[in-house]
Amino acid sequence: MLLLATVVAAGCGSDDSDDGGSKDSGSTSKVSTPAPLEAGGEFVVCTDVPYPPAEYLEGSKYVGYEIDLMNEVAKRIDTTTVYEKTLFDAIIPALQSKKCDAIISSMNVTPEREKEVAFVPYMAVGQSLMVTKGEGEGIENLDDLAGKAVAVQVGTTLKDALEKKSDELKGDGKDPIDVQTFPDAGAAAAALKTDKVDVFFGDSPVVADYVVKDEESFEFAGEPIDPIEVGIAMRTDDTKLQDAVQDAVDAMYEDGTMVDILARWNVEDFALDSEA
């Protein structure tokens, strides 16, 4: 599958990122530090780990393509990232209660979420189905999941999509999907590996990471599903911060730093249009 050629194990990513900001060699031109942040201060970011290769921990160090990306954004507004590990289904409330200044956690941009937070999109990521090795026959898309037990991370739009499809299947007289939620992608993948579910449904880079790292256990089922924009989320009233983050992301696309970061993790196929 083409996706396997473009997304590889997280271990192939950068070893240069750390919680103190990106060490990328691209442009480092800065804009003034926006409120509520302070110049030279901390930019506290909520993220749900593990979700390799987007974000995960190596010891106490946060790594992943979204970590590299966020560190670079922070550097360009003269701040230093500090990450707060936060469960995904509690991550928007954590932002709204000011436990962090922003979210980066492979969060799809949806109309429902835009009622709660403001987004700066930075990628467009599809979703994929994963099965145990040799069990992919007859599973090409969500319509083929009737009567299947499917693992998905709680609080995600993928869970919502499965539940909507399950209702449609039931309405057509077919067996519904047995949607089983897990606190993180690792637990969902483990459930598949131990035959507790039939399928895992996740973002394509994440699924590809599991397939490449454990190709004797896992394989793709079908082709990736339509991509959805993912974005950095901020409180709706932090308009100066939104503008500064948008300017930083735009500049990173314009000077090539964004694609360099994504290519470092072999996920450059998910970059936004270069006109961003």
The verdict on 36 and 97 lying in the same domain is yes
For residues 123-141, give the mean pLDDT.
95
Q: Is residue 210, in this structure, part of any structural domain at all?
A: yes
Q: Domain total for the chain? A: 2
Q: What is the mean pLDDT of residues 215-240?
A: 94
Model's pTM, two decimal places?
0.78
How far is 254 from 248, CA to CA, in rounded Å? 10
Q: Is 10's pLDDT higher than 60?
A: no
Same domain, 102 and 114: yes
Amino acid at 13: G
Whether residues 200 and 257 share a domain: the answer is: no
Q: In terms of domains, do 23 and 118 share one?
A: yes
How far is it, in rounded angstroms, from Cα 40 to Cα 248?
16
Does residue 237 lie within any of the structural domains? yes
From the list 201, 214, 218, 197, the residue with the least C-alpha distance to 126 is: 201
Residue 276 within any structural domain of the chain = no
Residue with tokens 């911060």: 241
Share of the chain above pLDDT 70, in %: 88
Q: Could you tell me if 73 and 133 lie in one domain?
A: no
The pLDDT confidence band at residue 175, using thresholds 50, 70 and 90, is very high
Q: How far apart are the first and last CA of the chain?
A: 28
pLDDT digits (tens, 9 = 90+) for 176-193: 999 999 999 999 999 999
Q: Do the Cβ atoms of 135 and 233 come closer than 8 Å?
A: no
Same domain, 207 and 218: yes
In this structure, the answer to whether residues 18 and 132 fall within a common structural domain is no
153 occurs within a structural domain: yes
Query: Is 275 domain-assigned?
Result: no
155 shares its domain with 87: no
CA distances from residue 258 to 25, 69, 70, 271 in whole angstroms, order as listed: 11, 7, 10, 8
Residue 86: inside a domain, yes or no? Answer: yes
Of 219, 251, 164, nearest in space to 3 by CA: 219
More confident residue, 168 or 275: 168
Looking at residue 227, its pLDDT comes to 87
Collapsing DSSP to helix, strand or coil, 36 comes out as coil
Confidence of residue 27 (pLDDT cuts 50, 70, 90): very low
- Check residue 172 and give its pLDDT: 97
CA distance 82 to 19: 6
Q: What is the pLDDT of residue 2?
A: 44
Q: Is the pLDDT of residue 26 over 90?
A: no
Mark whether 11 and 117 lie in a shared domain.
Answer: yes
Q: Are 197 and 249 part of one and the same domain?
A: no
- Asked if residue 103 is part of any domain, the answer here is yes
Are 208 and 238 members of one domain?
Answer: no
Virtual CA dihedral for 269, 201, 90, 264, nearest 10 degrees? -20
Domain residues for the domain of 86 are 2-124+228-270
DSSP string covering 148-214, please? -EEEEETTSHHHHHHHHHHHHHHHTTSPPPEEEEESSHHHHHHHHHTTS-SEEEEEHHHHHHHHHHT
Residue 160, token pair as written in the block: 């919502």
Do 120 and 233 share a structural domain? yes
The pLDDT of 106-115, averaged and rounded, is 96
pLDDT of 33 strictly over 60: yes
Cα separation, 75 vs 263, in Å, equals 20
| Amino acid code (one letter) for 210 | Y
Give me the CATH number covering residue 189.
3.40.190.10
pLDDT at 159: 94
The pLDDT confidence band at residue 226, using thresholds 50, 70 and 90, is: confident
Contacts 24+ apart (CB under 8 A), 139-147: 139/199, 139/221, 139/222, 140/221, 140/222, 140/223, 141/222, 141/225, 142/225, 143/169, 144/222, 145/169, 145/177, 145/199, 146/174, 146/175, 146/176, 146/177, 147/174, 147/175, 147/176, 147/177, 147/178
